[in-house]
Amino acid sequence: MTQWRSICPAARLPVERGVAALVDGEQVAVFRTSDDRLHAVSNHDPFSGAMVISRGIVGSRGERHTVASPVFKQVFDLETGQCLDDPAVSLVVHLVRVHDGVVEVALEAQALSA
């Protein structure tokens, strides 16, 4: 079963920017984009090794919603986790939703086992 974890009130999420959350020991970067969609990916930047994806700039490339690593500026697709500058690399994508005004995240591992 998907194990949803409460993160924070939905109002606490900035628009077009991310926050980091600690979910069962995992660091998750949660974003709300200007069209009010939520995205959750691993906070781990595969290029620098630092836990900083939540501090990147969000935006778009073509139709895709993206976040750019603040360290070396690689751009990732928020939907799929795919790095658009280096197709061999991806971020782990987690599940995210708003439930009763609260943001909830489910880690990818738990989602898989569901």
Question: Would you state the structure tokens that stand for residue 67, as one six-digit string?
Answer: 């976040």
- Shortest Cβ 35–other proteins spacing (Å): 8
Q: How many C-alpha atoms does 33 have within 13 Å on its Cβ side?
A: 16
- Write down the least CB distance from residue 56 to other proteins, Å: 7
Neighbours of 48 (CB within 10 A): 14
Give me the least distance between CB of 82 and other proteins, in Å please. 6
Residue in the block written with tokens 């500026």: 73
- Helix (H/G/I), strand (E/B), else coil: 16: coil
CA angle 79, 84, 85 (to 5 degrees): 155
| Shortest CB 32 distance to other proteins, Å | 10
Residues that bind other proteins (CB under 8 A): 2, 6-8, 12-17, 19-23, 25-27, 30, 33-34, 37-38, 42, 44, 46, 48-52, 55-62, 65-66, 68, 70-71, 73, 75, 79-82, 89-93, 95-99, 107-109, 111-112
